[in-house]
Structure 1
Amino acid sequence: MLRPALFGILSLTSSTIVAAQTLAPWEIIQVDTYSPSGRPGSSTVSYIKTTINDPNSASNATANCNIEWDGLTNGETPYNTALECTPVEDGTWEFEVLRADPDSERPSISNFILRFTRLTNEGNLYIGSVTLNSGIESDLFFMCAASGFCYANLRPESTPVRLTPKEIGFRSADLKVRQTEETSEDAEPEPPIAWQISRIETHRPSSESTTGNSGVSSISLTITEPGTGLSGPDMTADCTTEWNETAGESPFDKVQACSEVEEGYFMFEVVKADGNDTVENAGDDPMSSFNLKFTRLGADGKTYLGLAEFVAEKNLAGGCGGNGGCDAVLKEEYNPLVVVPKEVKGR
């Protein structure tokens, strides 16, 4: 569990992590994956296990991160689930497995993305991700046995795999976490508080917009976590992402921090709307159909995930002009749009 002490009011020191501009890459020193054979009486568990180290830390910052799922059950995947890694002395590690091949119907143990989130005791928050796959000159060695089970691990010549983290936010003396009363282990946990999206605006410039910021597409929104029975205030954040399509950019899978709130963080990213065929040609068009994935490091010291779906002519109102410019806003009848978060597993 992410304890309030990790997020509490702390004095800054230089002993744990160096300044962001001099960060050394993180090092993945081990990866092991497995998928079952499906033979009667054998295990049905698939897994991805990895070990990561932060060389910027002056203390022990090496963590083991594992995820398991039933590899023989249709629909059960390791994706879109954030898990806490083993404890370290100066903060926490979390990780997620992301789909590397959007056209693959089944989870892959030899082609996937690992995304790591690192929160230090000083309040620094970092994100880093890497794609691992098998094949010639790739990082993973992959093999299937005659009995049907398959596995993969890091090639010796690829070890360690290095990835450069991105600083998402920084909090120190200004970061506050509401102290909660201790509850017994038998007490029923309180359900997460539903979030509310009160504004969303999307914009795609016209094909004639070629100078300055006029060629930039954007999605912006306002999200609120209402105050709780602990007399906490409403936590309202503004979130914006921008990209230039003419330069080959896209908004997908880029974790960004929202505006500051008094307690914790809001982060968000645009993800593709899997399987949404309600709008013609909506598949890769973030103006027509997209999901927003939110990560909330909350005032109770826990991490929550939430997903909101947006579809043109359903909960988005707007349109495109003859020159290609498009704008949309949240329909009035969907304001506010409620997002029900779930607590990250492993707490």
Structure 2
Amino acid sequence: MWNFKLFALASLVALGSSSTQRRSSDGDLKPWEVTRLSTFSPSGRPGNSNLANLWATITNPSPITAGPGASFEPSTANCTVEWTWYVEEPYGRTVDCTTGGNQTAFSGSISKWTIEILKADSDYASPTENFDVKFTLTANKTANGEDYYKVLAGTQHFAIGENMKGTCGGSGVCSWYLDEKNIPVLVEPTLVDSS
């Protein structure tokens, strides 16, 4: 009976240590950086394009611990969301981004970014002037015969007069972009899933 109690106690200590290690390894998460974000809304006049757009560039500038002696490399993504102005809203639709960065065929690290426009918690929410953006990074790596996987997500608010500026023309065409004094806009990532 004594051996069983000692085994159970040792197992709990080991489990507590692994949980602490997992938490501390996720403590290395650094803020992501949005270095470009702009939106465009068309005039809606006949004969002109009726597509609205959001373009964004986001970077994970630091390696992320994957496991013992392994990390996911920094990466950058260019994201584009398009929708038909006056006809549809872009909210709640996840769109794949074009991912690049320091990844190489030899690193074994693969990153995939997605973007989603969320309706702002505001009396005046607009998908081009006052909105939230959720970025998701999925990272995979095989190292030392082990497969590592993490999903991280972060949301940031963007609005005219807060971190964006721009103009609307007489025709009704509006273009908004990040105010230079706010670049980069930081996004705090959180761990959603891992293995």
TM-score computed with the length of structure 1 as normaliser: 0.41
Residue 19 of structure 1, CA deviation: 3.2
Asked if 1:41 corresponds to 2:47, the answer is yes
Match of 1:79 in 2: 91
Partner of 2:135: 116
Query: Match for residue 68 of structure 2?
Result: none
CA contact (8 A) 1:110 1:142 kept: no
Gaps of 5+ in 1: 1-17, 172-347
2:190 to 166, 172, 183: 166
- Alignment correspondent of 2:167: 143
Instruction: Rate the CA distance shift 1:60–1:126 in 2: closer, same or farther, 3 A.
Output: closer
**Alignment length (residue pairs):** 149
Aligned partner letter, 2:171: S
Does the Cα contact within 8 Å between 2:81 and 2:95 map onto a contact in 1? yes
177, 180, 191: which is aligned to 1:153? 177
Contact 2:40 2:52 in 1 (8 A): yes
Who is 2:14 aligned against? none
Residues 117 and 127 of structure 2 are in contact (CA less than 8 Å); yes or no, is this contact kept in structure 1? no
Deviations 1:197-222 (A, max 9, x none): xxxxxxxxxxxxxxxxxxxxxxxxxx
Sequence identity percentage = 32
In structure 2, what is the equivalent of residue 69 of structure 1? 83
**Mapped partners of 2:98, 2:84: distance in 1:** 22
Q: Distance in 2 between matches of 1:170 and 1:115?
A: 19
- Residues 1:99 and 2:113 aligned together: no
Secondary structure at the aligned position of 2:98 is classed as coil
Q: Which runs of 4+ in 1 moved over 2 A?
A: 57-60, 87-90, 101-104
The alignment yields a C-alpha RMSD, in angstroms, of 1.9
The aligned amino acid for 1:83 is V
Q: Deviations over 1:84-136 (max 9, x none)?
A: 111343311111000004555x743011000011111130111100001111x
Distance in 1 (alpha carbons) for counterparts of 2:131 and 2:92:
12
Q: Which has the higher strand share?
A: 2
Counterpart Cα distance in 2 of 1:108 and 1:101: 12
Ranked by relative contact order (alpha carbons within 8 Å, sequence separation 6 or more), the top structure is 2
On the 8 A contact 1:101/1:111 being kept in 2, the answer is no
Corresponding residue number in structure 2 for 1:30: 36
SS in 2 for 1:72: coil
Q: TM-score, normalised by structure 2?
A: 0.71
Q: Deviations over 1:204-261 (max 9, x none)?
A: xxxxxxxxxxxxxxxxxxxxxxxxxxxxxxxxxxxxxxxxxxxxxxxxxxxxxxxxxx
Paired with 2:156 and 2:93, the residues of 1 have a C-alpha distance of 17
The CA distance in 2 between the partners of 1:163 and 1:102, in whole Å, is 20
Q: What is the distance in 2 between the residues matched to 1:102 and 1:157? A: 24
Alpha-carbon contact 1:78-1:107 (below 8 Å) kept: no
Residue 153 of structure 1 aligns to a residue whose secondary structure is: strand
